[in-house]
Structures are given as structure tokens and as C-alpha cells.
Structure 1
């Protein structure tokens, strides 16, 4: 019955789209578009002869909440088509020979269930009563909620009206939550979790204090999933070579299934790793998660058709950053971004630039002359967290920037901000506090 309810709602929206295409101008010009559509399709005591009697005969006893939600959804579909068609007519196209958008009544809309009218939850969200179409009437059915997430457990989160999703995978409820996000004042933060998103290791995190003390550190990697994803992409490359030969073009939708599997693996890795990073930060008392600002970063590495370039294309830096930001906002943690230049290039102990191992890029040799070797990703996450505290404490002045040399004509290069910057700052504060005072 739930699947029939979803199918009935989509049929209703499909019929509404045809009416809205005919009366679009007068409906949009009306003071209330929803009321204007209802006068055309729904018979009431004051409106006994609507223009389209098909709706009351084909969809009897449809709840008013569902009817008005369907009207708004159909208006969105029609307005979207009109906007895209006007853009095509004005010449704003991806290609000069692009075909115009096509009108269609097909949709994948899902019925919203308004709380108190179409759905009733228990106090512990273990059961839900849903109003569905039985074939002859609208009735209430009780369904047990088999699985749920943690958003309802937060006392400040307010559950809103869900949508009913019924497909081949089963019956689900998409419940939005209204959350109150509160951030702590930056200068009162005592622990920051720096996260480095890399190629060799998916993510490396460490918790740092303002005096440069490393509280905890951890590596997050999904080697098995990455190998499976890369194996699928190798199949795509081999099939493309066999299809094209030395020249030619690939057809539209080539290896669509393999690309879809790779995309879903990336999404699953980003969800699980972001959840683990947030749990790591909370378990060690971190108040902010610090990431590198890589939104407009376009990596250029490896020769054409090389595996290194393919690994860069599968890098999860933006997807992971979005997932971490969303989860941190739900948990009440702040998220900050720092300049990525030089975080992996300079050693955290202030010994200068590091030298990467030619065979193992995850290994870095510090420039102290002693041949000290350290993990490159761990070194980078130390510097990322240090740059956040340097920004909060006001240490990122003209002589403490994340680059080798500025654009000015100064002869001295700018000093990179590393973990040693916090060590020196804490040491100077201790010396100032221990200095003797003289009385006059």
C-alpha cells in the first residue's frame, strides 16, 4: 500500500504538470498560486464546478496536505523547465548545437508526510503510523522502524516532516532535522584536530594544543576499497584501448557501470572515514577540525595515461571535506581551513624543507643533517593544526607565512608556520612570566 501511495502521488503530479503548462501565466500571476490551481481542479462548497473534474474522479479523497504539496512540486517542475528553455533560447548553452530541453510528465517525486496529518511517531521513534491509499480509502497503518541514525538523539534537534521513499530497496523515511549549530569562541579553544588528506594515506589526523603538544594521532586508510576502485578503473582503460585503438572516440555512456561502482566506493569511503575522524576528534576533546583549503586545487602529476594521474583523479579531498564539515556541524564542532602551501614541504621541528624518498613518497627526510626520517602525512597534519593556532594567536604576520618568498622585493624569505612556531611562542611566554620585576 505504501508503494501504491507513492505511485498515486506521482500520477497526480504528472496530471498536474499538464494543467500547469496550460495555465502557467495566470497561475503565477495570482496572489496565491496554490489556491489558483485548487480552483481549477478541486470541487468545494464555494467552487462546485471546477474546470478539470478529472482529478476528483481519478484521485478521490486525496488529503489536502498531499494535494497542496503536489501542487508546489509540480510548480517547481514547470518553472524549472521554463527557466532552462529561456536560457536555451537566449544562447546560454553548453554547446552551440545543444538540443532544447524537452517537456516531460515523468517524475521521481516522493510524497511528504506532514506530522500529525499523514504520519505519527512514537516517543522513541520505534514505530510510525502512516496514512496510505488502500485502493478504496485512505487508512492508517503501523510500521516498525527497523534502523535509524543518531540525529534524533540530540536534544536540540527538531524532527520535521519526512518524505516517503518506496522503491526496490524497501520502504524508507527521509526525515529532515532542524539543528541549532553553536560554535565556541576561537580564542578559548585549547585543542585542534589537524587533518591531512593525502594520496598515500587517505587521511591522517592529530590533536594539538596551543603550546605545540601532540595529544594523539591516527591514520585513516581504506586500502582494500581503493584497490578495488583502481582495479575497476584499470578495466575501463583496457576496454577503451581495445575499443578505440590508436584513435577514435568512445560512445556516450561507455563503461557506465564501472564508473558508477567507483563513484559509489568513493562515497562510502568518505562517509566512513569522516565518521571515524569525528569520533577521533571528540574522544580527545578537540574543539575544532582544521583542514587544508583545496577547493580550487587541480593536481598535475604523472605523465599522460599514468596510474599516478589516475590516483589524483580519484582523490577524495573535496568529498571528505564536505562530509567532515557536515558531521562536525551536527556535533557542534567548528571547522576551519588554512593555507595548504608548504604544509608537507617543511619539517614540523623547524629544520627546513624535507626531502621525499624516491621509492616511498610517504617517507620524508628532515633537513637537519642527521638523516632523521618521518612520515610525510603525519608531519603535514602537525603543521596544519599549528597554522590554525598561529592564526588565532596572531602569529601569522609578515614574517610568518606559508610560502618561501613573498611578492615584495624583500631579500629575506618569509618564515613558514610549522609546529615549532608554537614551541617558540610557548617558550617566550614562559620566559616572560619568569622574568624578575624591579620596584621603583
Structure 2
């Protein structure tokens, strides 16, 4: 698979010289959006992005073979570099395509406001090599910008630490055309990199997986499992210092709101920063364990957080950055050739891993914490650890049944009926499944 990553390099000494370039580019995109809206019936019939771009370019650009285009683009945007013009055309086609798609969906189900006409918005131009960007030295480059009412080259200095990072870490990756970006009052060149990664293709019967249960109190509970149910390791990522700091920061916001100060951007910025730090440390911990055991797959729960949250713990759930942790782990794992999988999250914590039924947590089990639970048979166990067993078991059950032919699968489901309903599978189901597979093989 292909992985894309972007690294920003700060441009030194310049603050305002790029404003006109970005302004001209955005005006060109707005002009081309109107062209695409007028010509959309013809553009939509053309198959292929390159052919669509060529059609729009013939409508706006004067050449020897096309002396009288339909739209007067060249007069309004005199001597715009050809690659920047084509980049603006592609940007306009993409925005109009998205608008038409949203409009069609709205007409089928008219809920909410009608989609608004697309605008250029905060787009930035790509600095294509040789025509827009040239690397002169290791830390010096030339870019073509709109200056003094014309397009001309200027020399820029790039921050040494940023370029050294690229030379050291990205030398084996394919470098694509950089994009001019503004963040705050400073300007950057964002360098995209492309790399081809071959993901692991280990058989299901030989895989080692990390079953990860993401939690609020315990950041991550990890069980390293084999297909036969063997547990190679159990690991807990607890960040008490960070959790206390987050709680203290939230309490400061509450106190400010109690005194009528509802706009607290600095306090919220600090809170979000602490929360992001928790996500980063959790993702790094998971990847360290994955590398330690040379795991093939990292298995998460499929956590849908789009529903409305109710109850006394709703603020903790809203602040829970489970999606961000999964996203960071996915990017890191793919770079190392590991795969990511997700299983049904229903009942992984409610059902005991030994198949004894629902567990008792908190006050129901006479505990002061939700970390512990009591099984129906009286056994006391760590609830998150039990959930991680169930997560790994559901992955192996699903993949094992998929690898069997129809007759074998039906025979297994007749012997182990719990396999047929994935939302109630537990670790004990995997043990029973492996026992039946052994009997069939014998």
C-alpha cells in the first residue's frame, strides 16, 4: 500500500511577500469554479481527470491552436504559470464535483439547508518543481511568486533543522511537489512524501495479535494473543499524572464558568493540549508493545461516538480521544508493515471472558472503582483485561470462520453455536472453537 506523509519547512525572513501569490491563486480558483459550474454537463461526460482538466483548459486558455477560448481567463490572470493554472483547474473541478454530489444527496433526502455554491476558501498553491520551485542548495531554494504585478523568482532560506530532518528521515521516500502554507504569521513549505509499504500477509493460524481495549481511567489494556488462545503478555498503560493534570484543567474551566466566564480559550487550549499528549503517549505505548512482540495485527474495538452522550460521565466520554489514538496507531503500524483490524464493541466489557455471563462492576459488585469486576461464579478480575481477551477472541473467531469452507463452517457453528453471533463471543468461545477444529483435524 501507499503511505503519504507531510513535513513542514519554515521559510525564514519572509512574512508578507507571499500574500499576493495566494490571493491571485484563490481568485483564479473562484473564476474556474464558475466555469466548471457552467460547463459541468460537458465535463461530467468526460472520463478521466486529465481529460477533464484539458477540456477546462481549452475553455479558458489561449494557444496557437485555440486562439479564441470561451472564457477570458488569460486577461484577468496574466502570465500565470501553466502548472499553477492546471492546479487551480483541478482544485475547481474537485470542489464542483463535491458540490454536485452533496446537492444530489440533499435532493434525495432534503434534510437541513441546501448545499451552498462552492468557493475557493483557504486553498494554497502547489509549487511544482522546475517551473515553480527549485532547490539551489541544501537550505536555499527559489520559488516563483506574484511580485510587482508579475510572476518572478525569489530566493528563500529554509530552516536548517527542518531540512536536516527531511534529509535524515525521508531520504528513502519519494518527494512530491511542496505546497505553500501559512500558519499564524509564518509561512511554510509543506513537503509531501510517498512510500510503498508491504503489509504482513501471515496466515491466521500463525498470527500474533495485540488486542487493545482503550479506556478512560486506564488508557490502554493490551493482551498479546495467539490463535489457540495463548496469552503471551498482558500490559497496562496507565497515565495517572496526565489524567490528574487533565482533571485539574477541566476543574479550572468549571470554576471559571461558575463565575460567568464562559469564554476561556486559553484554558481550553491547555486542556486540549493535555488531552492530545495523553493520546500521543498511549499510541506510542501500544506501538512499543507491538514492536516488542513483533505483532502482525493490532485489534481495536469499533467505537462509534456519533450518538448523543447522556449521564454523569458524559464529559469524560466527550473528552475521550479514542479515535485519535486509533488513527495515530494506524499510521504508525502501517509504516512498520502491521495491519489494523476492528471488531464489534458490544459486550466486550459486559461479558466475562470465561463465558459465565454478565459481570458486575462498580456499586453492583461492591467496588469503588470500575477497573475491577465480579463474574457470576464469584471470580474477581480486571474488567479491561477481560475485555481485551474478548476483543482478541472475536478477531480470531471471525478470521478463522472466514478461512473455512461452507460445510466446515456450518459443522463448527452446529458444535459451537456461540460462533454464529459475533456480538456475544467471548474468550471461552475461542477455546471451544479451537477444540472443535482439533477434533475435525484428528
Q: After TM superposition, is the score higher than 0.5?
A: yes
Query: Do the aligned partners of 2:202 and 2:296 also contact (CA within 8 Å) in 1?
Result: no
CA contact (8 A) 1:84 1:101 kept: yes
The structure 1 residue matched to 2:225, chosen from 196, 199, 208, is 208
Greater strand fraction, Structure 1 or Structure 2: 2
Q: Secondary structure at the match of 1:389?
A: helix
Matched, 1:13 2:26: yes
Matches of 2:222 and 2:78, distance apart in 1: 56
Cα pair distance change 1:188/1:276, threshold 3 Å: same
Distance in 2, Cα, partners of 1:208 & 1:330: 22
Q: Aligned residue for 1:326? A: 331
Deviation at 1:194, TM superposition (A): 0.8
Separation of aligned partners in 2, 1:35 and 1:428: 59
Paired position in structure 2 for 1:387 = 394
Q: Report which structure shows greater RCO (CA 8 Å, sep ≥6).
A: 2
Q: Structure 1 residue 310 and structure 2 residue 315: aligned? A: yes
SS in 2 for 1:4: coil
Q: 1-side partners of 2:166 and 2:349: how far apart?
A: 37
Q: CA RMSD in A?
A: 4.6
Q: Would you say how many aligned residue pairs link Structure 1 and Structure 2?
A: 399
Give the deviation of 1:388 after TM superposition: 2.7
Q: Counterparts of 1:126 and 1:228 in 2: how far apart (Å)? A: 46
**Deviations 1:148-204, CA, capped at 9 Å, x for gaps:** 58995595x533333221232542415142433423234253421110012322322
TM-score (norm 2): 0.70
- Which structure: greater helix fraction? 2
Tell me how far 1:223 sits from its aligned partner. Answer: 0.8
Residues 208 and 133 of structure 1, relative CA distance in 2, 3 Å threshold: same
Task: Tell whether the 8 Å contact from 1:27 to 1:37 is kept in structure 2 after alignment.
Answer: no
**For residues 154 and 207 of structure 1, what CA distance do their matches in structure 2 show?**
34
- Partner of residue 161 from structure 1, selected from 177, 184, 203: 177
**1:19–1:217 Cα change, 3 Å:** closer
Q: Which runs of 5+ in 2 are unaligned?
A: 1-13, 402-408
CA distance, structure 1, for counterparts of residue 223 and residue 418 of structure 2: 20
Answer yes or no: is the 8 Å Cα contact 1:14–1:107 preserved in 2: no
Inter-partner Cα distance in structure 1 for 2:417 and 2:303: 17
Counterpart contact for 1:41–1:56, Cα < 8 Å: no
1:70 aligns with 2:88: yes
Give the gaps of 5 or more residues in structure 1: 244-253, 408-413, 434-440
SS in 2 for 1:146: helix
1:19 to 1:332, Cα distance in 2 relative to 1, 3 A: closer
Report deviation, 1:205. Answer: 1.5
Give the TM-score, by structure 1 length: 0.70
Cα separation, partners in 2 of 1:326 and 1:151, compared to 1, 3 Å: farther
Residues in 1 aligned to 2:345 and 2:235: alpha-carbon distance in whole angstroms: 20
